[in-house]
Structure 1
């Protein structure tokens, strides 16, 4: 660890604070969330430098790359100064640093968003379930039945466990607050401009490629956590062995539309013995994606979402214990 084993106690405290307190709305109603700041600066650069109707593809890619490099450099430098200042105050500074870092994690927030889908599904309130799932997925919820809503929420849980929790913690542990801030800038840029639309195809190219790169290792770590964490399904008809689930992951994950998202999705699908991904609507367009764990159950509902949340909680706890263990050994 570049910052030494002692810094991992800061990471562990950040994880604990996020798990307990989550996103304090009363704070963010008064002060913009850091991701809001990142998004505002990305939007400024995109508005100023992205002119797809007059730029060549090469110019668009170059300006998108330079914009992202500037934002990453500025965010990394500022966060390094903040971290250095706080660590100079010893334990108290470490606590404040952990508190700041926790604002860029999403354990409790992700759990609550998926739980908000499970609860109306359990009451057969498809309208409320669709509304809740629309907060965490990009596809058209009006075209989803109850099983589709459940699968969409479980897919989002698996993907966001990687992007919103494991990856930020990985980069925080490896490079400190600068690593965490740089990761969140890249990930936010990808979510805003990393789309293959006419406007963002070239300018957002660098954001999409960099996001793939910084998530390469965390996505596979997430898969490992979901695959190996203690868990027993309450509704699956049979419990697959870890070896059998791994064979399914190795086959299905590389076929996924994303180079990274398929790994946690395939692990989640295998542990729950359900099928995920598959064809879906984005707006009016049907995208024919292959299923992950295609032989798994497709008629799923609130019980499977509950299973997914229990596996998620177990994986979060295992991750926390691993951080503590490495900190104790390294300190």
Structure 2
């Protein structure tokens, strides 16, 4: 019943998100994974070790990061399956792995307060917000909305649908590991290699599905261009330095008629990325963020509808 678990978790998280009081009381799965990852990074990733040894230890760390939380989640789901409300309780637990509501709120905060946009955008992007002009802040928010729709919503619910609560937890743990140690820095180039490669692999299906959802949403959002979104995906998605981020970003760029990605600064280092889309002549504005949010909300509704349909099929079978 993992498909039904995924559908119910989408519906519940869409409605209530992850309550702030709960975060204050017990934290969040990402913070729990983060403590484990930090501990392993401190214990296993020594500057004095060779790169080969650090790569091996990075594999060992990744196995612990993924398998230990997944095993706990599997045991919890198995225990809950024996009670009448077990499916609902499992779905409620799975909502902690999704970020539909918080993603929209964070991106909308950028549009609402562009005068203080750098502070808002720093919560959702990894680049250097102080080096962005107004249009750059807008583009960064839109890019992050597209990419985090894939990483924070579509991918976890996909893996919940495949492997139940354990599948979603395994994905979220691996994705958190990539965000913490999967960077090409002197400390993590070797140790975080396994985490980065594994994250690329497990995000492949969701990134493609996200692009299709954005293209589909473009048919229903006034001013969006579904045909251009599809053409931009076909032309530009594989040009991105990430094997996955280019798909949702290209779809969003084409739908809105913007140029996204391109050269940007991370931790003071310039990254010369290719532009997604052909709207380079047009500066992005807060209105473009709001158009992107409309696309996101419709695409998210299509995702919920897709899992609802799959749930009906599973139940009927």
Settle same-fold status: TM greater than 0.5: yes
Residues 226/296 of structure 1: CA separation in 2 closer, same or farther (3 Å cut):
farther
Where 1:260 maps in the other structure, the secondary structure is coil
- Matched residues in 1 for 2:237 and 2:177: separation? 24
Task: Determine the structure 1 residue equivalent to 2:211.
Answer: 223
Residues 180/241 of structure 1: CA separation in 2 closer, same or farther (3 Å cut):
closer
Where in structure 2 are the equivalents of 1:182-331 lying within 5 Å? 182-231=170-219, 240-242=225-227, 244-331=228-315
Residue-pair matches, total: 315
- Matched residues in 2 for 1:71 and 1:245: separation? 37
Task: Determine the structure 2 residue equivalent to 1:79.
Answer: 73
Say if 2:155 is the partner of 1:161: no
Task: Determine the structure 1 residue equivalent to 2:135.
Answer: 147
Structure 2-normalised TM-score? 0.96
Worse overlay, 296-305 or 147-156: 296-305
Ranges in structure 1 where 5+ consecutive residues have no aligned partner: 1-5
- Matched residues in 1 for 2:19 and 2:147: separation? 23
Residues 7/50 of structure 1: CA separation in 2 closer, same or farther (3 Å cut):
closer
Ranges in structure 2 where 5+ consecutive residues have no aligned partner: none
Task: Determine the structure 2 residue equivalent to 1:67.
Answer: 61
Worse overlay, 291-300 or 211-220: 291-300
User: Are 1:269 and 1:296, in contact at CA under 8 Å, matched by a contact in 2?
Assistant: no
Query: Shift of the alpha carbon at 1:296?
Result: 4.9
Map Cα deviations across residues 295-328 of structure 1 (whole Å, 9 max, x no partner).
4553111110000000000001001011111111
Query: Shift of the alpha carbon at 1:146?
Result: 1.0
Task: Determine the structure 2 residue equivalent to 1:103.
Answer: 96
- Matched residues in 1 for 2:23 and 2:89: separation? 17
Task: Determine the structure 2 residue equivalent to 1:51.
Answer: 46
Worse overlay, 193-202 or 31-40: 31-40
Residues 240/18 of structure 1: CA separation in 2 closer, same or farther (3 Å cut):
closer
Map Cα deviations across residues 137-189 of structure 1 (whole Å, 9 max, x no partner).
11111111111100000000000000000000000000001110110110000
